Amino acid sequence: MVMAALLAGCDSERAAALEAPVGFVVTFDDTEQPMTRSDGIAVVSWRTDWVMSWGEAAGAATYRARYGTTEGIPEQPRTQSLDVARLSIDAAAGTSVPERVEQDRAAGLLLTSSQLLVSVAAVAGDGAVGPYSAWFSVGDVTADGAPIPVRPADS
């Protein structure tokens, strides 16, 4: 028990040396495939990935994303390991007539951002996890290309 406590203490010291990621930038990765419906009408099958990247954190070997929701943050959120300072998630998809693709894509991203939140942390080579970033809405972006935090980093 004492050893476990000591080890836990070491972990938290290593984690303390890591900093929360900063410098977030959001881009969108769109794919489109023209199709023809059975009644002859042209449509586009589309899909959009929301891609969030950030500056390399000192001491980080990898990164970890954790997910929350607008219905609440789970006590033990699901996590995802990331090899690089970048998270890409399939955030909206649909099939639309060509003139509706942009509106439907924006609506799809809005609905996703109304649901899913993400926060990321640096992970040291020995597995220690640093402090997490703010929670961001997946799917949102500001006019200058940043994600929108819905709540600050955990205190």
Question: Can you give the binding site for another protein, defined by CB under 8 A?
Answer: 35, 37-38, 43, 45, 47, 50, 67-78, 89-96, 103, 106-108, 110-116, 134-135, 137-140, 142, 148-152
| Smallest separation, CB 105 to another protein (Å) | 10
How far is the C-alpha of 76 from the C-alpha of 62, rounded, in Å? Answer: 20
Identify which of residues 27 and 70 has a Cβ nearer to another protein in the complex: 70
| Smallest separation, CB 45 to another protein (Å) | 7
Identify which of residues 39 and 83 has a Cβ nearer to another protein in the complex: 39
Identify which of residues 7 and 35 has a Cβ nearer to another protein in the complex: 35
Helix (H, G, I), strand (E, B) or coil at 95: strand
Q: Provide CB contacts within 8 A for 76, sequence distance 6+.
A: none
Identify which of residues 63 and 140 has a Cβ nearer to another protein in the complex: 140
Is the CA virtual torsion 94, 98, 104, 105 positive or negative? positive
What residue spans of the chain are helical by DSSP H?
2-17, 101-113
| Smallest separation, CB 17 to another protein (Å) | 24
How far is the C-alpha of 8 from the C-alpha of 15, rounded, in Å? Answer: 10
Residue 108, token pair as written in the block: 């799809």
Identify which of residues 14 and 45 has a Cβ nearer to another protein in the complex: 45
| Smallest separation, CB 89 to another protein (Å) | 5
Give the rounded distance of the alpha carbon of 120 from its chain centre: 7
| Smallest separation, CB 58 to another protein (Å) | 23
How far is the C-alpha of 34 from the C-alpha of 27, rounded, in Å? Answer: 23
